[in-house]
Structure 1
Amino acid sequence: MANTKREKLFAESPPVPTEKWEEVITADLKGADYERKLVWKTAEGFSVRPYYRAENLEGIKFLGSQAGEFPYVRGTHAHNRWRVHQTVSVASPSMANAEALKILNAGVDSLGLCIASETFSAADLETLLAGIHLPAVELTFCGQKTPNVAELMLAKIEKDNIAKEEVRIAFCIDPLVKNLSAKGDFCSPNGENCFGRIVELINKAKEYKHIRIVTVTGQTFGNSGSTIVEELAFTLSAGHDYLVRLMDAGLTVDEAARKIRFSFSVSSNYFMEIAKFRAARMLWANIVKGYSPEKNCACKMLIHAETSRWNQTAYDPYVNMLRGTTEAMSATIAGVHSLEVMPFDASFEAPTEFSQRIARNVELLLKHESHFDQVVDPAGGSYYIETLTQSIAAEAWKLFLEVEGKGGYTEAYKAGFIVERIKASAALKDKNIATRRQILLGANQYPNFTEVAGKELTAEAVTRKQAEGNTLAPYRGAMAFEEMRLKVDRSGKEPKAFMLTCGNLGMARARSQFACNFFACAGIKVIDNTYFKSIEEGVKAALEAKAEIVVVCAADDDYAEAAPKVKELLGGKAILVVAGAPASAPELEAQGITNFINVKSNVLETLKFYLKEMGI
């Protein structure tokens, strides 16, 4: 009986071929261009279709492998138990120890220790790690003189006679990306001293299976404005450079690869980020495999991820909680080894206990309430994500080979190729933010109208530091808007924009809402109004409000008559702005009405112009 019902069900719902779907879509478009309307042109160099089907997976070679199997697209292990990472700044070893013990008892099992002192000693290390049971936690050291700290730590674990298989430590030693990108040069000419020290440390830690000496800090690229493909390709290229240098120094490919760790940022581009991590594991596995390692486990990529700093906002900062949550979902679904969620206030102050707890709890909720750690590669088999994985891998590999063709990461970097490429991508992102093609909620769209910057928000926090020479300077995409808004908040003035709504009620309200969002992005106080029965009534109310800007909000057909009348009644006592792009614009401009705002406006530059007109 059940089989009969099943057969009947499938008989009533026969499969629909792609051609039929396309016919329906074409008909619904009513002559509109399919490619322009429905195909997304990504910054990563490929197009995304409106839908995908099983046939789109034909020819993808990595399909069919399982988690824990080469090329590790689906994960390096047959589980998804990522580590919850949180970083503690170590200015005072005793205070850092107290903080570390507190967060270790609150769910953290991957502890980052950022050393602030150049004179950090063995005694300081003992104080810092007092009461911490090393086999129970993974440690990561970064900050000042990390190679020296590594020496101290290796000496300590040997002195304490900790079982080699129970030690899990990573050191953020990265002369290629961290030093070269920030300073434009190594710690020594051509990095001889740096790499010699790395080889010494690897040899000392050779018997420790879970110690990583090098960390390729790929988030440097993402937080400097790169695309996802660029972050992946340049990170892989730097990793390959390390691999070659270490083998040239006498290490085997197995010994070298097992001491390299990778760290990436994860942006709010949800599905693309899932695909990025899957593609990263596959590409790195194939790079290492090319050197014929003795065991495939040397091909496994150890990935740490941290949520993006680039898209955090200083205004309306609680939105950063939402960004961090979706970014954490991308990383954990993709199967990273460890993850740090940035506190929502990290962009403008030393994170508070509250913000750190919220950041930590994002991961704990994903584990203990959403059970993300109980599902391995849930994206596997998705037509869309499998295709994205293939597309990102193909573009990243193409760029990787281009870097290799220039002599490898170091030579390509010194030639300016990497910096120029990332700066071009960052400039495009900046333009898209200025014109609202890319939205940063709370900064360039839907700002909190009533928010005024508190004392904790400083000019330094919102001022972008320009990269000098052949270097990269991480920044936040919202900085240009925030710097402008902070000037208004600190100006001692309270500029006002008055919405003069008239004519067609529906269009007047729509235009008013658009204009309110527009001007509030600069911290200008907006005075919204439901509707004025006459222009005279509206202008009178605007003058009584002492508004510096009066925005006429009406239908396009109303502007030819309404705008000149408003201009006449204002008598130059306020800046007149027309909300929209009416066909009558040339006639209005001939009458001296030159200010228009619409969806095609460069919001940032337009707002700067009005602030300058008001003396701010």
Structure 2
Amino acid sequence: MTDKSKSLFTDFPDISTQEWEELIVKDLKGADYDKKLVWKTLEGINVKPYYRAEHISNIEFTKSFPTDFPYVRGNKKCDNEWKICEDIYVVDYNQANQKALNALDKGASGINFILTDKNVTKENLSTLLNNICLIETNIDFSGAISIQNLCKDLQHFDFLSGAINLDSLGILTIKGNFCKDEKAAFDDVEYSIKNSGKLKAFAVNAVNFHNAGASATQELAFGLSMAVEYLNKLTDKGLSVDDISSKMKFVVGIGSNYFMEIAKVRAARLLWAKIIEAYNPKNSISNQLYIHAITSEWNKTSYDPYVNMLRTTTESMSAVIGGVEILTVTPFDITFQESDTFSERIARNTQIILKEESNMNKIIDPSAGSYYIENLTQAIANEALKLFVEIEDKGGYLQAFKDGFIQLSIKEMAQKRDMNIAMRSEIILGTNQYPNPLEKISNTVTKTKKPNVPESLIAEPIRIYRGAEAFEKIRLQTERAAKTPRVFMFTFGNLAMRKARAMFSSNFFGCAGYEIIDNLGFKTIEEGIKAAKESQAEIIVICSSDEEYPEIVPQIAEVLHTKILVVAGYPKEHIENFKKTGVTNFIHLKSNLLETLQDFNQIIGIT
């Protein structure tokens, strides 16, 4: 008879961390542990190859429950419900209302009306909100806002809940100046807090930093510093910390770094709770951070846009698992055209699937107890706090922004990320890796929208852009050229090497939209030269093994010297000899893809 009291795993002895480490070092066979196994993130975090229970034993918040200080595990006690928000630009009030009703009928539970007219009236709002169930629907107002008029007119609508996305510091951040003078800008926020009823009165748009290429820790540090700037300015006006915090919405961007984004949302709540604690609030709800997440625009692409659907799916999961209150999924085609009914439906249904099929609205903080995510949450909070303190030491967000510290920090991070994309250590699928060579978008793509910059600047605005833009520019140049360049794969010799290097080269030049002429392999050099001439290709890529290159490269160069010759690989012992034959182009894993393709476009005459 089986002894049920016997533990299931008694046959497996406990293994200490030291024993695991010794085994790992042995398996590495002298290779550097940190270089091989430790992930050094852009956030300045060294992620271990594994985590164990002992790694969370000293993390205090792991002992807390949902709705317990410091709210890492969320503000929700019974479920993980969130509002499915959809953006609607308001040009015609009746059309915007009909679009909102349609979205709500098909599963949305929140609408963000982006106003284009500052002179909105009570009658306009009545048309806009007609037949919308205000008790159940989250209504946000963004865009052109005259705060006094809007607050006055909204008082006529009972049960209205949601937010006025007024963000004076956000306007300064992306435009380089306030819409009004500095005092009037903060007066507007004060007025909104006092007169916005049940609505959140203002927003802190940390998402702008995200879409400018900032890291997760920078996004949190700069966003929380903005929030504290509001706290300090508004408490000086006589408002209490409880009045301010309870009326604030924190808006974050969610990228495709899945676990990092989950941890970022959790770390945001942790840091805000600690910050507010220093202000001695009377109401514990003031320690809770109300988070609206928006899927990233920085990583979205105009080429292979359906991949954007996959990106927003994982981003949505990160936001939901992190425990946000509201989520906006941007349509997959937003980078190159006005979103249509299909893309809006897909964006909406992404969230509905997470609720109705995956039941992610049922479980609160499902990542709690994960050794990895708990450690990542703590690490992000620690790094963001360091940067936050540095900003405060410089006089706070407003002073640091006027001095250029914020902009310089983001520029440096964006440059690192741009270089990673150029070197393909950060992959944007369909753009710098595995492009769709048959895709053409020049007839539909539009330029990235940029904010109107005031004539008078008090500081340099941050640059909102997408990581794929530089590659898309090259490919659009190719599309619009009189003739698409052809790239001929001169495959010869060692079967494995020629196939691997031809595949690498096809992918490499495909990122510029060039026409690729691949070949199975030539039996003789003469046969390959004949085919290369007949192809009328501008670029000939020699694909073989390093051992065979010294013999075949000079032969090919002697006959095809009028073509642009490229060697796939970098046989460093023979580079100088090859250059003497006129072969000066080499593509390999360490090539800067972006600069190399820009050079080829220039050589060919594509601008």
Pairwise TM-score range, normalised by the shorter structure: over 0.9
Counterparts of residues 287-366 of structure 1 (less than 5 Å)? 287-366=275-354
Counterparts of residues 163-562 of structure 1 (less than 5 Å)? 166-176=159-169, 178-189=170-181, 191-205=182-196, 208=197, 210-458=198-446, 460-461=447-448, 470-562=460-552
Offset, 1:57: 1.1
Do structure 1's residue 14 and structure 2's residue 13 form an aligned pair? yes
Residues in 1 aligned to 2:147 and 2:480: alpha-carbon distance in whole angstroms: 44
Residues 474-514 of structure 1, C-alpha deviation per residue, up to 9 Å, x if partnerless? 10000000011001101121111011110101000000000
Q: Is the 8 A contact 2:541 2:566 kept in 1?
A: yes
Offset, 1:615: 1.0
Do structure 1's residue 33 and structure 2's residue 32 form an aligned pair? yes
Residues 309-362 of structure 1, C-alpha deviation per residue, up to 9 Å, x if partnerless? 000000010000000000000000000001011110001100010000001000
Residues in 2 aligned to 1:396 and 1:245: alpha-carbon distance in whole angstroms: 22
Aligned to 1:108: 108
Q: Is the 8 A contact 1:462 1:482 kept in 2?
A: no
Task: Decide whether aligned partners of structure 1 residues 32 and 570 sit closer, same or farther in structure 2, where only a CA change above 3 A counts.
Answer: same
Residues in 2 aligned to 1:604 and 1:466: alpha-carbon distance in whole angstroms: 29
The TM-score, its normalising length taken from structure 2, stands at 0.96
What secondary structure sits across from 1:10 in the alignment?
A: coil
In structure 1, list runs of 5 or more residues that go unmatched: none
Name the % identity. Answer: 45
Offset, 1:571: 3.5
Residues in 1 aligned to 2:21 and 2:199: alpha-carbon distance in whole angstroms: 53
Stretch deviating more after TM superposition (244-253 or 414-423): 244-253
Counterpart amino acid of residue 168 in structure 2? P
Stretch deviating more after TM superposition (6-15 or 313-322): 6-15
The TM-score, its normalising length taken from structure 1, stands at 0.95
Residues in 1 aligned to 2:546 and 2:451: alpha-carbon distance in whole angstroms: 39
Q: Is the 8 A contact 1:146 1:172 kept in 2?
A: no
Q: Is the 8 A contact 1:462 1:479 kept in 2?
A: no
Do structure 1's residue 566 and structure 2's residue 556 form an aligned pair? yes
Counterpart amino acid of residue 399 in structure 1? L
Counterpart amino acid of residue 576 in structure 1? L
Do structure 1's residue 597 and structure 2's residue 587 form an aligned pair? yes
Q: Is the 8 A contact 1:463 1:479 kept in 2?
A: no
Residues 352-387 of structure 1, C-alpha deviation per residue, up to 9 Å, x if partnerless? 100000010000000000001111111000000000
Q: Is the 8 A contact 1:74 1:376 kept in 2?
A: yes
In structure 2, list runs of 5 or more residues that go unmatched: none
Residues in 2 aligned to 1:409 and 1:462: alpha-carbon distance in whole angstroms: 26
Do structure 1's residue 577 and structure 2's residue 563 form an aligned pair? no
Residues in 2 aligned to 1:608 and 1:465: alpha-carbon distance in whole angstroms: 30
Q: Is the 8 A contact 2:168 2:189 kept in 1?
A: no
Counterpart amino acid of residue 565 in structure 2? L
Residues in 2 aligned to 1:312 and 1:151: alpha-carbon distance in whole angstroms: 35
What secondary structure sits across from 1:584 in the alignment?
A: helix
Counterpart amino acid of residue 172 in structure 1? N
Counterparts of residues 49-64 of structure 1 (less than 5 Å)? 49-64=48-63
Residues in 2 aligned to 1:149 and 1:450: alpha-carbon distance in whole angstroms: 52
Offset, 1:5: 5.2
Offset, 1:117: 1.8
Offset, 1:307: 0.4
Offset, 1:199: 1.5
Aligned to 2:130: 130
Aligned to 1:156: 156
Counterpart amino acid of residue 377 in structure 1? D
Residues 29-69 of structure 1, C-alpha deviation per residue, up to 9 Å, x if partnerless? 11110011000111101200100011111321212111111
Q: Is the 8 A contact 2:273 2:289 kept in 1?
A: yes
Stretch deviating more after TM superposition (125-134 or 347-356): 125-134
Offset, 1:463: 10
Q: Is the 8 A contact 2:175 2:452 kept in 1?
A: no
The aligned length equals 601
Q: Is the 8 A contact 2:442 2:476 kept in 1?
A: no
Residues in 2 aligned to 1:422 and 1:278: alpha-carbon distance in whole angstroms: 22
What secondary structure sits across from 1:128 in the alignment?
A: helix
Residues in 1 aligned to 2:29 and 2:237: alpha-carbon distance in whole angstroms: 65
Offset, 1:466: 11
Residues in 1 aligned to 2:201 and 2:530: alpha-carbon distance in whole angstroms: 71
Counterpart amino acid of residue 191 in structure 2? E
Q: Is the 8 A contact 1:140 1:172 kept in 2?
A: yes
Counterpart amino acid of residue 169 in structure 1? G
Offset, 1:7: 2.2
